[in-house]
Amino acid sequence: MAQLEPSHPATTYFAERLQELASTTNVRTHDDSGQVRKMTPLRLQKLLKEQAPDLPVSQTQIYRYYHGEAAPRLDVVWELAHLLGVSPRAFLPE
């Protein structure tokens, strides 16, 4: 069985920030209940698809970003930052 190589530090940092921002962001449902739900990787992907329909990001790819298994492209960072209400710089270390 092949071992996974450790993620690049920037990929790990991005995943940590994405998880932190998602955990502090709530989403109001669009149905009649008006419930507020936690931001999950699945919700991130669905909202990203609504916000930027031409951005080809699958559920699997969002999961990989969320868990530090892949580094996102710059356009994905830009759209995620906009979705979460932060500057794209929020995903970079000081």
Mean pLDDT by 10 residues, the chain (94 residues): 70 94 75 71 91 93 94 95 94 88
Q: What local confidence, expressed as pLDDT, does residue 45 receive?
A: 93
* Cα separation values, 29 from 22, 35, 39, 43, 44, Å: 16, 6, 11, 10, 13
Q: In b/e form, how buried is each residue of 17-48, taking b as 16+ CB within 10 angstroms?
A: bbbebbeebebeeeeeeeeeeebebebbbebb
* Cα separation values, 2 from 5, 31, 37, Å: 9, 45, 38
Residue 62 lies in a domain: yes
The sign of the CA dihedral 32, 33, 38, 41 is negative
Q: What local confidence, expressed as pLDDT, does residue 77 receive?
A: 96
Q: What local confidence, expressed as pLDDT, does residue 2 receive?
A: 52
Residue 4 lies in a domain: no
Residue 16 lies in a domain: yes
Q: What is the CATH number of the domain that holds 51?
A: 1.10.260.40
Residue 93 lies in a domain: no
Taking the C-alpha atoms of residue 14 and residue 28, their distance in angstroms, rounded to an integer, is 25
How many domains in the chain? Answer: 1
Q: What local confidence, expressed as pLDDT, does residue 30 receive?
A: 56
pTM listed for this prediction:
0.82
Q: What local confidence, expressed as pLDDT, does residue 93 receive?
A: 86
Q: Which two tokens stand for residue 28?
A: 């109001």
Structural domain including 46 reads 9-27+35-88
Q: What local confidence, expressed as pLDDT, does residue 28 receive?
A: 59
Residue 59 lies in a domain: yes
